[in-house]
Structure 1
Amino acid sequence: MQLARLHRLVVITLLGFASGLPLALSGQAMQAWLTQAGLSLATIGFLTLVGLPYTFKFLWAPLIDRFDLPLFGRRRGWIALTQALLAAALWAISQVDPASQLGPFAALALLIAFLSASQDAAYDAYRADLLPAEERALGASLNTLGYRLAMIVSGGLAFIWVDANAGGGLSWPQVYRLFAALMGGAALLTLLASPRLPRTERPQTDGRRDLIGFAAVLVAVGLGVAFVQQGLAPALQAWLAPATPLGGRWVDLLVLACGLALVIPLAAWTARRAHYDTLMGGLQDYLRQPGAVAMLVLIVFYKLGDAFSVSLLTPFLLTGMHFSTAEVGVANKVFGLWLSIGGALLGGALMLRLGLFRALLLFAVLQGLSNLGYWWLAVAGQGQMGSVSVPAFDWLIVKLATATTLDGGLLAVIAVDNLCGGMGTAAFIAFMMALCRQAYSATQFALLSALSAVGRVWVGPLAGVLAEGLGWPSFFLLSLLFSLPALGLLFWLRGPISSLDSAK
């Protein structure tokens, strides 16, 4: 029994790594490659749209619930297939010169993001189905460990590997071929080492109607987004921006609100009319749970205060506090990232003793209070807690060329924030896993994770407006208020959340 448990948790860690690896390859790493290739900022900005599949993966996640690939078992076949196709796509894009073949490069980048989002949907469902209730806490922590380590490799170490002075002087095509090999190895690992799921219920819907429904919803969402971007946004900008105190920024918020208000109901109406039964069935199955709607609201608000405070963290530290880029980089990307991993592992261990409800409540309080550290930093300024000298180092995979002095207050605030945020992330993932039912776990987890991103989408534009209008100290105090709705919802939902500890 213990060996089987260890097997499950090790596989979850490794699959978490495979899930996180492609994210930067269609984001930060790709942008660095395009910059070195001499493309304009406007072109690079346009290509950030290739990340849209991560937002809309809930549209095709029901197909992963409805259809199983033969021979490989439920969920495992989809994970291995997307990993193998990712390996092929990464190898293919490494053969393309973005400066002279921008069209094929963009198409392959979009394909990589689509396959990565599909791998996430299949893996999220597999993790939710595989882990029993008593292993969700550790599973969520180890998943975060693997995912964050992958982000360090593809979103951090890759930059060092292509640096001729600090790293190995590899080219970006060589780096992408290396990651293609890693994804190929992940596909083999999935097939050979991941446990098969026990026979579980599958949606008993008409597969042909699901395919037609998916196509119809995709067209409806595309038309809705096109209408907002090409018609509504320019009209509102021309009408309201000149009379708005902060130019077009408030109008951008209005456009975002109108877009959500249009596209979401349009997609739901189309899914019903086109009989996309697995999508609608997954939603209806979720809504049968006690407190289902209130839990959806909790998912939006749980990480909202945390997301609000860190949405403008880099501008605050660089321009508001005048820390050097080296200080911010070492504090945030070295100490901060590893402390967030430590926080996730600590959160998983605490959840085993506290249970899901008490862990969610405690970590929500800690996340909110950690925002006060940035308020204190904005009020007190630099030099309040001395300084720490970080010597130069070269660990082969990461290097600091010269010694760097870190402000003690900055380091303390970053440490507390990342530890608390890591604990909250682990509990949040365990909570979403507990809400999913096996027959529809891909659909439901994709919908829940998309909903959790709504808050982050909103706070980005809103945070910039409020920071300019209120100043940094008031901005961080306001972020504390953004944490309060989640606490109220947690107390209200204590019974339903506590029952999830023993439910599967």
Structure 2
Amino acid sequence: MTSYFGWLSGLRIYFQRQVLIIFVLGFSSGLPLMLVFGVLSFWLREAGVSRADIGYFSWVALAYAVKWLWSPLADNLKIPLLYHWLGRRRSWLLTSQLAVAIAIGCMAFTDPQQNLALMAALAVMLAFSSATQDINVDAFRIESAVVEMQAALAAAYLTGYRLAMILASAGTLWLAALFSDGSAYDLSGWQHAYLVMALCMLPGIVTTLLCKEPVSGLQQQQHTDGSLLQRFAGWLRHAVIAPFIDFFSRYKWHALLILALIACYRLTDVVMGVMANAFYVDMGYSKEEVASISKIFGVIMTLIGAALGGVLINQFGIMKILFAGAILSAATNLLFSALSQIGYDLMWLTLVISADNLSAGIATSAFIAYLSSLVNLAFTATQYAMFSSLMLLLPKFTGGFSGQWVDHFGYSNFFIMTAAMGLPVLILIALLARANLRRQNKKATE
């Protein structure tokens, strides 16, 4: 009984004001991803774009993987006018959120059959704006609470993020079908769906305007003396070089293991995800079927996975749940392989989507909490952007070849390949867990 009430007490943390704010900002962050990555591939496939081109098209999402290049600006550049009104984090948030909404709206008036290059350019704009928003939401989240609250904030962020992803995927597919005239490809359905998604950015924008600016640990340096080149060099040292030096000085050679884990952890699900919607189209599933199953079972399992991940982290620690999440992510890819052999089957589709969302919720909760624990609050945006960029660089680049692999090996073998990509992750987690234990024992004996 005591254990039961302990779990209930642990769940109350999700209703604190700061956690709810992060939930909405997580929703705002998650909305653009599927519109530039997942659902867009469904649209492109219906428009007759080849699987190979869809794979290459996914490279626009590499903006998320190189966002560390401009992340120092979020820590060091004040946006004129807005900075004095909203503060550093909120001014950057508002600017990026407005840019995301504009990009989605512009994509609604573009036809990939007529101008694929323009669609690609707008997708790059959306990815760039969305990645910038992610930089500042992550910094806002980390600066909003003490370390003990970060697991709950990560779970809230993930819940909002995943709900937005499901709305952007299932909701967009459902709306595109609703406004369609029933033909194999109807542009107007997709246009209406994307316009609605642009309006769905409003909750995040309103939250940014109403919430409070977090207390930052940024150590701003004023470079008022010397030439322009000297001032730039001083800024470069503080904004770009110092965060990297700080990370390596704190973790020594363990930093290489950490960076290797970050680079590989999401390889399994991201590479598979590039071809997921093309797979649904080729297997004969309609937009309505995929949307309905994702919306009902996907939402339920995402909520369970995200909340369960946060609770399990508090109970068992980050590393054990990281390990479990990696196993679950690889296992669900094997379910996709089985589905490709079974063929069109709504019951199996429901099982696969449900399992995929549950495992993603648990794994991503643990991974976000882990990345947050690595950050020095003096360099919040830069360091977290470095980690989250590295997290996507290898998976997004590798995913660009997924269309070619499907054409060559077939869907079943492709999904097995992506599951096998999770094996190095398990080894890296085990090595890091052992290294952490040794470091703790060493500190205890000092």
The TM-score, its normalising length taken from structure 1, stands at 0.65
CA RMSD, Structure 1 to Structure 2 (Å): 4.6
Match runs of 1:249-264 below 5 Å: none
**C-alpha contact 1:160 1:166 (8 A) present in aligned 2:** no
**Partner of residue 83, structure 1:** 97
Q: CA deviation at 1:63?
A: 0.6
**Partner of residue 179, structure 2:** 164
Q: Which amino acid aligns with 1:416?
A: A
**Partner of residue 396, structure 1:** none
**C-alpha contact 1:210 1:276 (8 A) present in aligned 2:** no
CA–CA separation in structure 2 for the residues paired with 1:424 and 1:166: 40
CA–CA separation in structure 2 for the residues paired with 1:315 and 1:465: 13
Matched, 1:364 2:326: yes
Distance 1:175 1:366, change over 3 A: closer
**C-alpha contact 2:41 2:278 (8 A) present in aligned 1:** no
Q: CA deviation at 1:22?
A: 3.0
Matched, 1:13 2:23: yes
**Partner of residue 201, structure 2:** 183
Q: Which amino acid aligns with 1:164?
A: F
Q: Which amino acid aligns with 1:363?
A: G
> What does the per-residue CA deviation read over 1:383-406, in whole Å, with 9 as the maximum and x for residues that have no partner?
9xxxxxxxxxxxxxxxxxxxx962
Matched, 1:64 2:74: yes
Larger radius of gyration: 1
Matched, 1:325 2:285: yes
SS of aligned partner of 1:339: helix
Distance 1:156 1:364, change over 3 A: closer
Equivalent of 1:442 in 371, 381, 397: 381
Equivalent of 1:145 in 147, 150, 159: 159
Matched, 1:406 2:374: no
Distance 1:372 1:298, change over 3 A: same
The TM-score, its normalising length taken from structure 2, stands at 0.73
CA–CA separation in structure 2 for the residues paired with 1:414 and 1:103: 32
In structure 1, stretches of 5+ residues that fail to align are 214-271, 384-403
Q: CA deviation at 1:12?
A: 0.6
| Fraction of identical pairs, as percent | 30
Task: Determine which structure has the larger helix proportion and give its number.
Answer: 2
> What does the per-residue CA deviation read over 1:211-268, in whole Å, with 9 as the maximum and x for residues that have no partner?
968xxxxxxxxxxxxxxxxxxxxxxxxxxxxxxxxxxxxxxxxxxxxxxxxxxxxxxx
**C-alpha contact 2:30 2:160 (8 A) present in aligned 1:** yes
Matched, 1:117 2:131: yes
19-28 or 171-180, which deviates more: 171-180
In structure 2, stretches of 5+ residues that fail to align are 1-11, 441-446
CA–CA separation in structure 2 for the residues paired with 1:39 and 1:477: 27
**Partner of residue 9, structure 2:** none
Matched, 1:280 2:219: no
> What does the per-residue CA deviation read over 1:263-302, in whole Å, with 9 as the maximum and x for residues that have no partner?
xxxxxxxxx9x94641222211221222212100011222
Q: How many residues align?
A: 410
Distance 1:100 1:450, change over 3 A: same
**C-alpha contact 2:179 2:189 (8 A) present in aligned 1:** no
**Partner of residue 493, structure 1:** 432
CA–CA separation in structure 2 for the residues paired with 1:372 and 1:101: 36
Q: Which amino acid aligns with 2:310?
A: G
CA–CA separation in structure 1 for the residues paired with 2:296 and 2:244: 40
**C-alpha contact 2:170 2:292 (8 A) present in aligned 1:** no
Q: CA deviation at 1:11?
A: 0.4
CA–CA separation in structure 1 for the residues paired with 2:199 and 2:332: 40
Q: CA deviation at 1:450?
A: 1.6
CA–CA separation in structure 1 for the residues paired with 2:98 and 2:410: 49
Q: Which has the higher contact order (CA 8 A, sep 6+)?
A: 2
